[in-house]
Amino acid sequence: MRYLLVLVHRWVGLSIAGFLVLAGATGAVISWDHELDELLNPHLIFAPTVGSPQSALTLKDSVESRDPRRQVTYLPIATEPGHSLQMYMEGRPDPQTGAPYELGYNQLFVDPVSGNELGSRNWGAAWPITRETLVSFLYKLHYTLHLPPMWGVQDWGTWLMGGVALLWTLDSFVGFYLTLPTARKSGHVRAPAVARRLARGWWSRWRPAWIVKTTGTGYRIAVDIHRALGLWAWCALLVMAFTGFSLSLFRPVFLPVVELISTTTPSPIAVRAPVPATQRTRTLVDFARILQLASANQDESGITAPVGAIGYIRDFATYRVSYFRPGEEHGTGGAGVPETYWDASNGAYLGMTTPWSGTAADLFVQSQLPVHSGRILGVPGRIIISLMGALVAVLATTGVLIWWRKYKARSLRDARRVSAEGTHAAG
Residue 149 has pLDDT above 90, yes or no: no
Residue 269 has pLDDT above 70, yes or no: yes
d(CA 219, CA 224): 9
Reported pTM: 0.88
- At 4-31, the pLDDT tens digits run 998 999 999 999 999 999 999 999 999 9
Q: What is the mean pLDDT of the chain?
A: 89
Which segments of 41-117 does DSSP mark as H helices, in order? 42-45, 56-66
pLDDT for the residue numbered 190: 55
Of 89, 81, 91, the residue nearest 113 (C-alpha): 81
Question: CB of 402 within 8 A of CB of 219?
Answer: yes
d(CA 332, CA 356): 9
- At 384-404, the pLDDT tens digits run 999 999 999 999 999 999 999
Going from N- to C-terminal start, the domains of the chain cover 1-41+131-265+377-427, 45-130, 276-357
Stretch 171-200: mean pLDDT: 68
d(CA 324, CA 305): 5
pLDDT for the residue numbered 417: 76
Question: CB of 284 within 8 A of CB of 382?
Answer: no
pLDDT for the residue numbered 332: 80
| Whole-number percent of the chain with pLDDT over 70 | 92
Stretch 57-85: mean pLDDT: 94
pLDDT for the residue numbered 194: 54
- At 203-255, the pLDDT tens digits run 788 888 898 888 878 888 999 999 999 999 999 999 999 999 999 999 999 99
pLDDT for the residue numbered 270: 86
Residue 282 banded pLDDT, cuts 50, 70, 90: low
pLDDT for the residue numbered 216: 78
pLDDT for the residue numbered 183: 44
Identify the CATH assignment for 276-357 out of 3.40.50, 3.30.1340, 3.10.450, 3.30.2420. 3.10.450
Query: Which residue would you say has higher pLDDT here, 88 or 422?
Result: 88
pLDDT for the residue numbered 9: 93
